[in-house]
Each structure stands twice: as C-alpha cells, then as structure tokens.
Amino acid sequence: MSVAELKNELHEGIENLQDMQLLHIIKSIIEQQYKSMSSITLSGRRREQLEAARREAAEQLTLSSDESDQEIDTWLQP
C-alpha cells in the first residue's frame, strides 16, 4: 500500500468516526509528528522567496514534472 492510499484510508476512517475520545487521541498523535505552517518561523528572505514562488504558481509560470523532465533531457543531450 502506498503512502497516498494509506492517507486516503485514514481520511475516510476518521471522517466516519463518531467517538470523540478516539478522535482526540488521533489528534494528539498527529500533533506530536506534525508542525503546522503557522508555527514555523521564516526569515524575511525565505518569506519573500515563498511569496515569489506562490505568485509564479498562481500565474502558471511553473513547469509540470513532465515538462521539467523534458527540458532537462534537452540540456543533457550532447
């Protein structure tokens, strides 16, 4: 089973849970492993880089993985 498949199963299972105590237990386990973006401190330069990347993505100035692979392949050809 892939990570994506496992995540999908977990999402579905959690969505169907009604047991509040069990949901709190799951939440506490996840919180021990996950640090939300709001608690990450970025330097001014890193914040600017992140905002620039978001603007590029919004303006569709990025390449897909396939496009990137094709471009790299052309660079590597003699």
HEC assignment per residue over the chain = CCHHHHHHHHHHHHHHCCCHHHHHHHHHHHHHHCCCHHHCCCCHHHHHHHHHHHHHHHCCCCCCHHHHHHHHHHHHCC
Q: What is the mean pLDDT of residues 2-24?
A: 92
Q: Which domain holds residue 68?
A: 41-78
Please give the model's pTM, rounded to 2 decimal places: 0.41
Q: Are residues 25 and 48 in the same domain?
A: no
- Is 13 a residue whose pLDDT tops 80? yes
Q: Are residues 29 and 59 in the same domain?
A: no
**How many domains does the chain divide into?**
2
The CA R_g of the chain, rounded to the nearest whole Å, is 20
Q: Are residues 24 and 48 in the same domain?
A: no
Q: Are residues 47 and 77 in the same domain?
A: yes
Handedness of CA 7, 21, 15, 9 (dihedral sign): positive
